């Protein structure tokens, strides 16, 4: 099993997630991923400064505002935003980052790896959860 597959398996066993880039637009991946995780029994916190709430649940402006420390952070944002999120996650001691397709570039992946974080990229949570 390669490192990415190992990380993916470990992440899917973790139960507390934050989705950065969550949205209340049901057509977008930020909503679909948040909802899919919830429907699979995960404790999921939406993070997006543009929304007060999503489906009646509080949405947090930043990762730091989430009331518990998530075990996994799923990113559904452009690479520039992902870069800042890596720092926030690292400061909180979060080691698992899942970059949805299109959210990471070479710079973000290198930065996360240099900080010793466990990452998944070029893979979708929706696919992983079936």
**Residue 16 lies inside a defined structural domain of this protein:** yes
Report pTM. 0.96
**Residue 86 lies inside a defined structural domain of this protein:** no
Per-residue pLDDT of the chain (130 residues; tens, 9 = 90+): 799 899 999 999 999 999 999 999 999 999 999 999 999 999 999 999 999 999 999 999 999 999 999 999 999 999 999 999 999 999 999 999 999 999 999 999 999 999 999 999 989 999 999 8
Q: Mapping DSSP to helix (H, G, I), strand (E, B) and coil, where does residue 30 land?
A: helix
Are the beta carbons of 96 and 11 closer than 8 angstroms?
Answer: yes
What is the C-alpha separation between 15 and 50, in angstroms, rounded?
A: 25
**Residue 40 lies inside a defined structural domain of this protein:** yes
**Residue 43 lies inside a defined structural domain of this protein:** yes
Cα torsion angle, 104, 110, 116, 119, sign: positive
CB atoms within 10 A of CB 20: 28
**Residue 34 lies inside a defined structural domain of this protein:** yes
**Residue 46 lies inside a defined structural domain of this protein:** yes
Backbone angles phi, psi at 45, to 5 degrees: -110, 120
Domain of 14 in residue numbering reads as 1-69+92-100+120-130
Q: Give me the helices (H) in the chain, please.
A: 3-13, 29-39, 79-91, 106-114, 125-128
Q: How many domains does the chain have?
A: 1
Q: Which DSSP symbol is given to 87?
A: H
**Residue 84 lies inside a defined structural domain of this protein:** no
Q: CATH number of the domain at 36, please.
A: 3.40.50.720
The candidate with the shortest Cα–Cα distance to 4, out of 86, 81, 84, 104, is: 104
């Amino acid at each position: 099993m390669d490192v990415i597959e190992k990380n993916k398996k470990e992440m899917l066993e973790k139960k507390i997630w934050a989705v950065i880039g969550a949205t209340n637009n049901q057509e977008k991946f930020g909503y679909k991923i948040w909802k899919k995780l919830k429907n699979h029994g995960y404790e999921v916190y939406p993070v997006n400064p543009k929304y007060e709430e999503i489906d009646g649940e509080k949405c947090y402006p930043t990762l730091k505002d989430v009331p518990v420390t998530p075990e996994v952070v799923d990113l559904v944002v452009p690479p520039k935003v992902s870069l800042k999120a890596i720092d926030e996650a690292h400061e909180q001691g979060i080691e698992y980052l899942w970059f949805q397709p299109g959210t990471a570039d070479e710079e973000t992946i290198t930065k996360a790896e240099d900080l010793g974080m466990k990452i998944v990229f070029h893979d979708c949570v929706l696919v992983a959860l079936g």
